[in-house]
Amino acid sequence: MAVQPEDRTPVLVGVGQLVQKEKDVEKAKSPLHLMEDAARLAAKDAGLGDKLWPLVDNITVVRFITDSPDSRRLPFGRYGNAPKSLGNMLGANASKNCYGPTGGNTPQMLVNHTAELIANGETDIALVAGSEAFATMMRALGQGKMLPWHDEPGGERIDIGYEREGVTPVEKAHKLQFPVNIYPLFENAIRGQKKRSVREHQLEIGKLMAPFTEVAAKHPQAWFPIARTAEEIATPTDDNRYVGFPYTKYMNAIMQVDQAAAVVMMSVKKARELGIPQEKWVFLHGCADANDIWFPTERVNFHSSPAIKMMGEKAFGMSGWNISDIDYFDLYSCFPSAVQIGRDALGIPEGDKRPLTVTGGLPYFGGAGNAYVMLSIATMIEKLRAKRGTKGLVTSNGWYVTKHGLGLYSTDPVAGSWKREAPASYQSIIDNEAHPKVAEQPMGKAKIETYAVVNGREGPDFAVLFGRMNDTGARFVAHTPSDKLTLEDMMTREQLGRSGTVTPAVELGKDVNIFTPE
């Protein structure tokens, strides 16, 4: 007998996504206008068109890059109440105008949150949307042009989640606030855990990411629809230089894209009342949100994620599924280390034949700021509708393998009442995991735990590392001397476990600690 979902069960009924590749910055649409277009596509997809907007009681928007802490210096592109502005453009007057926090985890978190509001009877019909036009913004800034991207519509805005710096002051002094600098440290830690040489591991990264490029090459919204071989991705060349060693350019997320996506969510009761065909319905069977220990220097290690592992257990427990049931994945892929950490934490076997992305991933499909996962959710819904009864898993990641969201989707209806476990109930377990103490002013003999070499266009600029003190085991962050010989050595000889001496910044009269290899 077919499952009949309960009236308050949340269901996703409409999706829209698009890419903008307009070269003329004055003709290009703003991120708000791109989001409007995506929302109208989602309404049309649900079969309602403009009839939807007077019925929407909740508009939830992913935070723009320009509202994220380190980007507020950008000279235009801020909106005082983006969900209200979007509602005004659509002709909606939602009672709830919600805005998410900074982080690539935000879209899945917002879908999870909105589903809970629907299940609890606090929302009936919601629009969840996200976009960026960062490519156009950076092109305009390069041309010395200011674009009229701003709106102050007034009204009350509900901020979901919270804003918190992703790094400590000491980590920031060592330039770890930049994802291109810190994710390579995770990669070398993974390499050490797998006991591979640099070249062996780079080829494995190439093999991991080449299928992503093949998916992107076939996706109509991809920024770089170009298939590449594993060797192309893994081999440094003039066109594929090192960025943060061991990462070449083709291993890094591309944020300068113009993309948008939106989903329409509502209760099953409303979907029935509005006559939305059931072939449009996709259910959120399981979901979870969790944070790893917040600051990188305090992590248990740099090759695993207790939060993703916990999140998977909770989401699969809610759905009654297991990892072998999943037909489609979209693992967050800002850098290869994020893919591997997510894969391993969820128990996906290395070498599994199922593709790990439905979009092509952030380095190839495009990483639209905080909003990428809106596009991966939209794509996942389209995949599931095309092959009914299949199951999909989407993960999201914010900051530095710090904040995570997960959703399990299927056209099969949810049986019984929709209810998720409150994330706070399991977050304390993760926070209380045993982890190293941190020495902010380290002095003495020490060893490298993991490392990266940050490269500019002309070659290596500086090396950054996490290390452990020999006497106490405390963890520290440091740079090495930045002379050419030291940096070249860091990129050609194994550094994991290498001994040396660390001197605190305060003694050197500098901003950073210095680790001098033996």
Q: Where are the domains of the chain?
A: 10-164+254-412+422-431, 444-517
Tokens of 53: 């907007």
pLDDT at 170: 98
* Tens digit of each residue's pLDDT (9 = 90 or more) over 459-468: 999 999 999 9
- Answer for the pair 479, 514: CB distance below 8 angstroms, yes or no: yes
Q: Quote the CA–CA distance of 302 and 26 in Å, as a whole number.
A: 44
pLDDT at 3: 85
* Tens digit of each residue's pLDDT (9 = 90 or more) over 328-385: 999 999 999 999 999 999 999 999 999 999 999 999 999 999 999 999 999 999 999 9
pLDDT at 383: 98
Question: How large is the average pLDDT for residues 20-32?
Answer: 97
**Cβ-proximal residues to 89 (8 Å cutoff; 6+ apart), any chain:** 32, 33, 36
* Average pLDDT of the chain to the nearest whole number: 97
Q: In which element (H, E) is residue 246 found?
A: none
Helix then strand count (H, E) for the chain reads 15, 18
* Tens digit of each residue's pLDDT (9 = 90 or more) over 49-95: 999 999 999 999 999 999 987 776 789 999 999 999 999 999 999 99
**Cβ-proximal residues to 175 (8 Å cutoff; 6+ apart), any chain:** 181, 454, 462, 464
* Tens digit of each residue's pLDDT (9 = 90 or more) over 189-224: 999 999 999 999 999 999 999 999 999 999 999 999
pLDDT at 498: 98
Architecture of domain 444-517: Beta Barrel (2.40)
Beta partners for residue 466, in sequence order: 450, 477
**Cβ-proximal residues to 476 (8 Å cutoff; 6+ apart), any chain:** 297, 438, 439, 440, 442, 446, 466, 467, 468, 469, 502, 513
Statement: residue 111 has pLDDT above 90 = yes
* Torsional class of 251: left (φ above 0), alpha (ψ -120 to 50), beta (otherwise): alpha
Question: How large is the average pLDDT for residues 174-181?
Answer: 97
Q: Supply the pTM of this predicted model.
A: 0.97
The structure tokens 């009269």 sit at 509
Return the number of other C-beta atoms located less than 10 Å from residue 181's C-beta.
19
Statement: residue 104 has pLDDT above 70 = yes
* Tens digit of each residue's pLDDT (9 = 90 or more) over 274-304: 999 999 999 999 999 999 999 999 999 999 9
Asked if 10-164+254-412+422-431 and 444-517 have one fold, the answer is: no
- Answer for the pair 63, 122: CB distance below 8 angstroms, yes or no: no
CA distances in angstroms from 498 to 299, 450, 516, listed in the order given? 20, 10, 10
pLDDT at 1: 56
pLDDT at 73: 79
Statement: residue 153 has pLDDT above 60 = yes
% pLDDT > 90, the chain? 97
pLDDT at 314: 98
Kindly compute the dihedral angle of the four CA atoms of residues 46, 50, 52, 57, in this order, to the nearest 10 degrees.
Answer: 130
pLDDT at 68: 83
Superfamily holding 10-164+254-412+422-431: Thiolase/Chalcone synthase (3.40.47.10)
Strands (DSSP E) found in 153-301:
158-159, 244-245, 258-267, 282-291
Helix/strand/coil for 19: strand
Question: How large is the average pLDDT for residues 498-510?
Answer: 95
Q: In which element (H, E) is residue 325 found?
A: none
pLDDT at 194: 97
Q: Quote the CA–CA distance of 176 and 180 in Å, as a whole number.
A: 9
